[in-house]
Amino acid sequence: MQYEIKRYFELSGFLLFMCYVSGFFAWNSYLGHFAFFEYDLLQTRFISAGALIIVPLIVIYLISNKLNNRFFKLDIKNKIATYIVWVIVFSYIVFPFVPGYLGGASPSLVSIVADTNTLNTLKSMNLLHSDGIESIRGCKIYENSDLLIIGFQPVITLYPSQTKFLPDKIETSGGRILHISKERILATSVLPQGQVIEEFSLLCKTLQAQYGARGLSNLFVK
């Protein structure tokens, strides 16, 4: 009985460690595309992200055990290699599209209300509503206790004086990824879910371009 209890705690500790390592890799490989690395190691999001990655692999392993198939008979080196490949593939292909409440990194639509200096900066970058105190909608990529990483896709007006080839003024989009200190943010505003689905395809193309992920906007519109 004591051996079984000891074995249970050892297995639980091992799985928790594997979840943490997997989640740490998933989050920081994702955030690396936005020039950020999370140095705070005490993040519960690492464990939840790791659980998202590890649970399907455990299910596959248990099914393989029951069926007594080839995967279950792999030696330890091949099992470790399978785990590493699974974590890498899952982190790059699936993780960015899974909602945060399930442990993933899918962005959410927000706008920010900030202090005067930040508002002036946002206005100069064409990220502020006309005569307002609220930014245009952006994609919240990541948030911790110190900063907010948000991606914008503003509309910029180009005039003939700015280019030799345009006879008339045109509007074009210019994507930006900003790291904003939480001390400079007074409030964040979110949309109802219906409007989020409707506007996601337009506003999160910045994230799609920066991350290089396929079909990001289409995934949420379907």
Domain parsing of the chain, residue ranges: 2-102, 108-221
Res 133 pLDDT > 90? no
Given pLDDT bands bounded at 50, 70 and 90, which one contains residue 63?
confident
User: Helix, strand or coil for residue 130?
Assistant: coil
- Top pLDDT among 29 and 3 is at 29
Predicted confidence at residue 220, as pLDDT, reads 32
User: Helix, strand or coil for residue 89?
Assistant: helix
Contact 16/47 with Cβ under 8 angstroms? yes
Given pLDDT bands bounded at 50, 70 and 90, which one contains residue 11?
confident
Average pLDDT over the chain reads 75
Q: Could you tell me what percent of the chain has a pLDDT over 90?
A: 11
Predicted confidence at residue 2, as pLDDT, reads 67
Most confident of 12-21, 115-124, 146-155, 185-194: 12-21
Cα distance between residue 66 and residue 19, in whole Å: 24
Cα distance between residue 144 and residue 125, in whole Å: 24
Contact 135/111 with Cβ under 8 angstroms? yes
Work out the average pLDDT over 154-160: 57
pLDDT tens sequence across 189-203: 876 654 554 445 445
Res 67 pLDDT > 60? yes
Torsional class of 216: left (φ above 0), alpha (ψ -120 to 50), beta (otherwise): alpha
pLDDT tens sequence across 70-80: 655 667 788 88
The region of weakest confidence among 28-42, 105-119, 155-169 is: 155-169
Predicted confidence at residue 183, as pLDDT, reads 87
DSSP 129-151: -TT-SBBPPEEEEEE-SSEEEEE
Query: CA of 142: how far to CAs of 108, 147, 163, 167, 190, in Å?
Result: 9, 8, 36, 41, 15
State pTM to two decimals. Answer: 0.75
Structure tokens at 174: 């210019």
Residue matched to tokens 């409707």 = 198
